[in-house]
Structure 1
């Protein structure tokens, strides 16, 4: 209160001095950012030239307004910071292992909506474990766009919403983070998979991770990009006696065309995604077609043993489970690519284009029919006569020979 009231009298020059030094400070600070430094300097020069033409009273008023706006922005930023902290602290469930599946009506509606816009052909080679202790190990399409159809298919088949594991950067945005958590998503941490398995949740994982979801132009479509020695999922499955279901999916990467790639030299994504993604290249893709998706659920791989703890430390057994899973996914991909190639309904919009083409062909044939031609000519004559009649009512002295309706009528009479 005191600072606001005292600024109207003896201390009035102080805000002007502060306001003149503030743009200079901003300009100097901006020099450390070459990309925006020049723009800030131009703004500063414009500010200086603008204020140099003002009277002392106007400068003082402008300075007060500037400081008021600055304080308002700082205050608003504080409110946003508090709101952000509050929202980030809101928990959908007390912990990931106490999460409960949303109501069936909501999930039924969402699952059917997903498959309405992303029609999916599914193949099941085996039964889903009745106890729900299943680990779905899948390849990942570009941008991970095959995840929602996969979840929808499994839910409609089993009534179970499979838990998903997401990279930490997904949990930095309120509302989005809460939606992920509400539908069973969990932040990827060292023991996340083990904790979900101990609570007997069905889980889906993508061993290829971000690298597989963000393939480059040079990478093979639907190729597995598992890190060397990736055996964590196999060890966890054996330790917890989980049934592994190999899942293969294709379709997304045929619909999208990569047109550009943002390399780490263009932009450093580590500040957003984390330091582990500092060398990540981000592909920019555009839709090229609208096609069906294809998902194959392979034969179950049983990992139950008499001594799970001992088996989970057996490197040979772990690698065998990992390799069986990998081979099953590759076989599923090969099977789906053949199915995709031979599917007459692969391109969803083909029936529409065919109907439009047939309609155009039918219309052209109809227009060539003599009876249709005569009917159209008579219709145009009637319209021209009607317009000519109206024109003469509006202006009896109109030159009928120059009237557009009369000209049209003369042409038709010929």
Structure 2
């Protein structure tokens, strides 16, 4: 009966598809009717066995999935922080692979703190941010993510173990009422700028006051929660992830969501609970990033803006002086300031603080010589290569020197005819040396002839006979 009703509902939802299914059923029926009774009987048995096995596997998988997802059944407000023996090594390990330059402007003395930060690509800076906050305050912050993560077994349990909660409008007031440390990414910061590769460019996204100041502007919800629960707001600015993983283009997920909606309408709800569903107020896209470098992350935690007790009165007096028309006209403060007005002012101040700290972090990043994490490794490798190259050059020079001395030694050994008959060789060499010496002594000297003078030439020719020729030198 359930199967029949399900098929009828499908036929009602997809009238055209129902006609094609009916035609296909008629053709299959005609083909089966042409078969012999024995073959038809075997086909029915096989189909019944396959159908029964499929139903059994589906029911077993569904029961296992339901039990695994529902465990542990603990409300978010009853969550307890994991042991420090787990969190401290994990935090140091995360910061080892994702180095962070953190700057704190003020101290956090109370655990009732709401961190308001800008978000980067896919929220990949969140593990490092949580590690920095935990090592500074000893508190693991709670955060919210898309409900799709909580439909995946094991991944859902890991997220819940570390304090993640599903996105819900009422979850933050409940957790802040229980005193948990929270982190919030405003819509004016999370929106399109979170995945566009432009970190923290939110100056034109500031909320604007309404005409009467009675309504909370979009993006200022966190200020209302902080004022109602007495939480201190800490603006957090972080950059670096978009430099390391810039977004190249956005991949539209509309085809996937469309197919998911069709499958959801075709299959029972128990089998499609984990499929994503698109919403009418947003266009689902997936940012595609390409790694460009390996850089440090820079974070700056501004001074906390307290909202409890006398600090709220200071906020009210500040709003009265700067915003209230009655004060500007008469100089007297008004009786009371509503929470939405204070929330609007507080959210504006928070986002301005984030924007100012982003400018500071950009200057710090540009002036940091250790911005690139692998720069020391690169320099060490380059120096090692230079050392190896210098050693090769020195080795080549040493080889030349060895070859030179080897050649000299071979030339010295070239006269040794017989090493064993050293005396004969010495005698032969002595005789040769004496022979060469005697030849050199018996050789007549050939001196250059001195040129004759004019008188000597006349005497020799007989023209002048009264002079004897001078002896030749």
Residues 1-400 of structure 1 aligned to structure 2 (within 5 Å): 68-91=49-72, 94-128=74-108, 130-208=109-187, 211-212=191-192, 214-216=194-196, 220-224=198-202, 229-268=218-257, 272=276, 274-275=278-279, 278-305=282-309, 313-371=338-396, 374=399
Comparing 189-198 and 325-334, the one that deviates more: 189-198
- CA distance, structure 2, for counterparts of residue 181 and residue 245 of structure 1: 24
* Secondary structure of 1:149's aligned partner: helix
Q: TM-score scaled by structure 1?
A: 0.70
Comparing 166-175 and 79-88, the one that deviates more: 166-175
CA displacement at 1:313 relative to structure 2: 3.4
- CA distance, structure 1, for counterparts of residue 164 and residue 248 of structure 2: 31
Residue 290 to residue 276, structure 1, CA distance change in 2 (3 Å): farther
CA displacement at 1:249 relative to structure 2: 0.7
* Secondary structure of 1:275's aligned partner: coil
Residue 242 to residue 363, structure 1, CA distance change in 2 (3 Å): same
Q: Deviation string for 1:48-82 (max 9, x for gaps)? A: xxx9xx99989976875565445433322221111
Point out where structure 1 has 5 or more consecutive residues left out of the alignment: 1-28, 42-50, 379-414
- CA distance, structure 1, for counterparts of residue 184 and residue 120 of structure 2: 13
Comparing 274-283 and 308-317, the one that deviates more: 308-317
Q: Deviation string for 1:9-49 (max 9, x for gaps)? A: xxxxxxxxxxxxxxxxxxxx9x96xxxx9xxx9xxxxxxxx
- CA distance, structure 1, for counterparts of residue 41 and residue 105 of structure 2: 79
- CA distance, structure 2, for counterparts of residue 319 and residue 84 of structure 1: 44
- CA distance, structure 1, for counterparts of residue 392 and residue 250 of structure 2: 50
Point out where structure 2 has 5 or more consecutive residues left out of the alignment: 1-13, 25-31, 208-216, 262-275, 317-335, 404-473
Q: Which has the larger radius of gyration?
A: 2
- CA distance, structure 1, for counterparts of residue 115 and residue 301 of structure 2: 9
Residue 220 to residue 60, structure 1, CA distance change in 2 (3 Å): same
Residue 287 to residue 69, structure 1, CA distance change in 2 (3 Å): farther
Q: Is the 8 A contact 1:235 1:313 kept in 2?
A: no
Q: Is the 8 A contact 1:114 1:149 kept in 2?
A: yes
Residue 374 to residue 279, structure 1, CA distance change in 2 (3 Å): same
Comparing 352-361 and 309-318, the one that deviates more: 309-318
- CA distance, structure 2, for counterparts of residue 222 and residue 81 of structure 1: 43
Comparing 253-262 and 312-321, the one that deviates more: 312-321
Q: Is the 8 A contact 1:222 1:253 kept in 2?
A: no
- CA distance, structure 1, for counterparts of residue 381 and residue 36 of structure 2: 70
- CA distance, structure 2, for counterparts of residue 291 and residue 59 of structure 1: 68
Aligned length: 335
CA displacement at 1:306 relative to structure 2: 6.2
Q: Is the 8 A contact 1:166 1:185 kept in 2?
A: yes
* Secondary structure of 1:102's aligned partner: coil
Residue 232 to residue 83, structure 1, CA distance change in 2 (3 Å): same
Runs of 4 or more consecutive aligned structure 1 residues displaced over 6 Å after TM superposition: 54-63, 306-312
* Secondary structure of 1:369's aligned partner: helix
- CA distance, structure 2, for counterparts of residue 97 and residue 82 of structure 1: 27
Q: Is the 8 A contact 1:246 1:299 kept in 2?
A: yes
Alignment root-mean-square deviation, CA: 3.9
Counterpart for residue 469 of structure 2: none
Residue 112 to residue 62, structure 1, CA distance change in 2 (3 Å): farther
Q: Is the 8 A contact 1:245 1:299 kept in 2?
A: yes
Q: Deviation string for 1:106-128 (max 9, x for gaps)? A: 01111111111111111000011
- CA distance, structure 1, for counterparts of residue 227 and residue 162 of structure 2: 26
Q: Deviation string for 1:379-398 (max 9, x for gaps)? A: xxxxxxxxxxxxxxxxxxxx
- CA distance, structure 1, for counterparts of residue 49 and residue 206 of structure 2: 55
- CA distance, structure 1, for counterparts of residue 236 and residue 144 of structure 2: 16
Residue 176 to residue 370, structure 1, CA distance change in 2 (3 Å): closer
* Secondary structure of 1:260's aligned partner: strand
